Amino acid sequence: MAQYARGAAAVAVIRLRNPPVNALSLTVLQALEDGLKRADADPSVKAVTICGENGKFSAGADIRVFSSPKKQGLGLGPIISLIERSEKPVVAAIEGIALGGGLEVALGCHYRIAHVQARMGLPEVTIGLLPGAEGTQRLPRLIGIPAALDIITTGRHVPATEALKLGLVDEVVEENTVEAAIRLATKLIGQPLGHRRLSLRPVPRLPNMEAFLSDALMKVKKRAQGCLAPELCFQAIKAATELPFADGVRKERELFNILLTSGQAKALQYAFFAERAVEKWTTPNGASWKSASPQPIRKAAVIGLGTMGRGIVTSLVKAKIPVVGLEQDLEYLNTGRKAVMLLLEREAMKMEQGAQTLDFHNPARLQFTVDFDVLRDVDLVIEAVFENMALKKEIFNKLSRICKPEAFLCTNTSALNIDEIASVTNRPQQVIGTHFFSPAHVMRLLEIIYGRHTSPTTIATAMQLAKVMKKVGVVVGNCFGFVGNRMMFPYTQQAVFLLEEGSRPEDVDRVLEDFGFKIGPFRMSDLAGLDVGWRSRKDQGLTGPSLAPGTPARQRRGYRYSPLPDLLCEKGRFGQKTGKGWYQYEKAGGRISKPDPWIHSFLSEYRDTHQIKTRFIDQEEILERCLFALISEGFDILAEGIASGPEHLDVIYINGYGWPKHRGGPMFYASTVGLPNILAKLQKYSEMHPDVPQLRPSAFLKKLVAMGNPPLNDWMSYLHRQSNKL
């Protein structure tokens, strides 16, 4: 709703009220409209202030409305026109946030005052839409085309001080914003308002408008990577340069409706809520976010200053948590320290008040040591050493002796057994997996893995840590590869099998990149280094000296195996770092991949050696085999209770594995393709490749199909239901 009151003798205050973020639901809009009409009709009211409850203006339209049958009838645009047409001055008092429809309401007001800590933006693009309440037409008239394009096509939040420089707000205050707005409204009584009505203003012309727009469109398309909304945002803003206001609004509405009915908006809005849903974690034994309280982390330590450790230290410093970095000897320590300092310098440059805020030259904030004793007083340790169980156990045993009894012990592993690591400590309840993604100071995902004995407090503390590091924490159970890497295995396995059967690395990568992945599996493997997987396969006895003599080249433990990545490693082709991998690079450490004729002839010799008949593999098969194998593994993960819902898998894939957000994540994608279709295709491929268990459809997938293909939200409720069709 919206509360109507008097702020001063002649000023009506309309307060948007819909906790927690004053989203503009139909009820709020109705109350806003009623408030405006009441103020208009009351001759004792001479001016109006619009503000929001609880120090927040508004987060915009209620996103849930877009997936309800009433979505067409939001009708925010006409209410904003009503504000603008008012003969009585209307001042927006912006505190906290004014986003999307919230900012559009403020743009309809004649004046805008913002609190110095407020943030403003039109983030509709991030949920697959465009500002659909005349914002694409008003904003360019207020701040010009280049700034409007930037704000609308990126959806970024603009801090109040920048908003003032752009002319988006008229004044920034540090005091009570609503009172300041009431004072301004009082002063404005009786003054002319024509020039303050944005719809009546022309769009400021640029001398080179056409060239500017065509350049901008190219940039927008490049960034969009298959996502529709940024380009349609661009089209709406372009309309503002070509059409009168009313026609521009019609164009905006037309484009908005195209997006609203597109699958992409649905997927992006699902992703928005999925990210919030995973914050409310639960485990199969009943632990949950509701009852567990996080412990404060006043000081942390990171063991190992390799690539991961450096990124983790940087993230902690950015989160303003004092941190100690520990290495095994002075040489490694010095290399690590230099690298961390460089990362922090770069991060500081990107920040407004940079170095002072981070304060990383202060030893009380950041310290480096080779001495474990220094870790006596830390509240939490993140071990980020080499992926080797014996080494990790040795470190955890030591930590358990040195660290204070309340300290939490985290391991940054991408696959190893948390219980085995915890077993060597005196506090298995305080041991937890924190799987960061590289580069750890950039990637948003933190997979949080609880073991058999991990306490709810430990999970809550790790989740809280993710939040202060501005990461998305996702709580998952303990199994080899956890969620992300476990689902990745069948995907990359299919990619390599496709090479054996006739594809080339660039064919497979292109199909998956066209689908929207930032980077295909072979380019990814070259980037990460082929030697990483090689080492793990050697440890598992799948290749290398421990392989039993006489093992068939393309079979392990009775199933199909491809030795192709091992063969490349034997030839020293580790990817970008050696200048050669699945592709060739301009030099060792080079980043620009070029298809390598050597690989093409190597693959054809390989097929000859193993009598594999090369066949043409179409895009559909490449996509389906890679994605459906990954999805089937996802259903197994859900059935085993490793993750508590499909949203968890989707959030992990979007934030850690480059899955295109506008496709909602693998499980959401599965729901859009239709589970019966996925099942039928997996059955077909599995019949073609009976020696590949990863192509066999998950029993849970089969069950859901037998239960009538229920919507994704209901999947988990079917887990334990009996199906008489199976």
Residues that bind ligand 3H9 (CB under 6 A): 20-21, 23, 59-64, 74, 76, 97, 99-101, 104, 123-124, 127, 129, 131-133, 135, 273, 276
DSSP state of 113: E
Helix, strand, coil percent content, the chain, rounded in steps of 5: 50, 10, 35
What residue number has its CB nearest to ligand 3H9? Answer: 100
CA distances from 638 to 452, 633, 685 (A): 18, 9, 22
Report how far apart the first and last C-alpha atoms of the chain are (Å, whole number): 49
**Which of 437, 449, 455 is closest to 476 using CA atoms?**
449
Closer residue to ligand 3H9 (CB): 124 or 162: 124
Find out whether 63 and 122 touch, Cβ atoms under 8 Å.
no
DSSP state of 6: E
The residue whose two tokens read 């990577």 is 225
Cis omega (within 30 of 0) on the bond before 20?
yes
Closer residue to ligand 3H9 (CB): 7 or 155: 155
Residues facing 408 on adjacent strands: 380
Closer residue to ligand 3H9 (CB): 104 or 347: 104
CA distances from 309 to 302, 330, 441, 500 (A): 6, 16, 10, 37
CB of 537 to ligand 3H9, least distance (A): 41
CB of 132 to ligand 3H9, least distance (A): 4
Buried b (16+ CB within 10 A) or exposed e, 441-479: bebbbbbbbbbebbbbbbbbbbbbbbeebebbbbbbbbb
At a CB cut-off of 8 Å and minimum separation 6, what does 466 contact? Answer: 446, 448, 472, 473
Cis omega (within 30 of 0) on the bond before 552?
no
Measured between alpha carbons, how far is 549 from 552 in angstroms, rounded to an integer?
9
CB of 666 to ligand 3H9, least distance (A): 22
The full DSSP string for 334-394 is HHHHHHHHHHHHHHHHHSSSHHHHH-TTSTTTEEEES-GGGGGG-SEEEE---S-HHHHHH
Measured between alpha carbons, how far is 692 from 544 in angstroms, rounded to an integer?
22
Closer residue to ligand 3H9 (CB): 159 or 676: 159
At a CB cut-off of 8 Å and minimum separation 6, what does 667 contact? Answer: 631, 634, 638, 646, 647, 649, 650, 712
CB of 100 to ligand 3H9, least distance (A): 2
Measured between alpha carbons, how far is 664 from 646 in angstroms, rounded to an integer?
11
Length of the chain equals 726
Closer residue to ligand 3H9 (CB): 98 or 297: 98
Helix (H, G, I), strand (E, B) or coil at 5: strand
CB of 503 to ligand 3H9, least distance (A): 40
Closer residue to ligand 3H9 (CB): 97 or 568: 97
Closer residue to ligand 3H9 (CB): 23 or 382: 23
CB of 660 to ligand 3H9, least distance (A): 19
CB of 133 to ligand 3H9, least distance (A): 4
Residues acting as catalytic residues: 104, 124
CA distances from 647 to 434, 446, 619 (A): 19, 15, 27
CB of 24 to ligand 3H9, least distance (A): 7
Query: Which tokens sit at 185?
Result: 């409204």
Helix (H, G, I), strand (E, B) or coil at 229: helix
CA distances from 225 to 21, 186, 326, 359, 513 (A): 30, 49, 40, 37, 9
Find out whether 700 and 719 touch, Cβ atoms under 8 Å.
yes
Closer residue to ligand 3H9 (CB): 63 or 163: 63
CB of 114 to ligand 3H9, least distance (A): 15
Closer residue to ligand 3H9 (CB): 127 or 712: 127
DSSP state of 400: H
Cα 415 from chain centroid?
22
CB of 648 to ligand 3H9, least distance (A): 15
The residue whose two tokens read 């769009």 is 203
Closer residue to ligand 3H9 (CB): 135 or 563: 135
**Which of 442, 441, 468 is closest to 380 using CA atoms?**
468
Find out whether 409 and 454 touch, Cβ atoms under 8 Å.
no
Measured between alpha carbons, how far is 163 from 121 in angstroms, rounded to an integer?
9
CB of 321 to ligand 3H9, least distance (A): 19
CB of 662 to ligand 3H9, least distance (A): 15
Closer residue to ligand 3H9 (CB): 123 or 656: 123
Closer residue to ligand 3H9 (CB): 275 or 513: 275
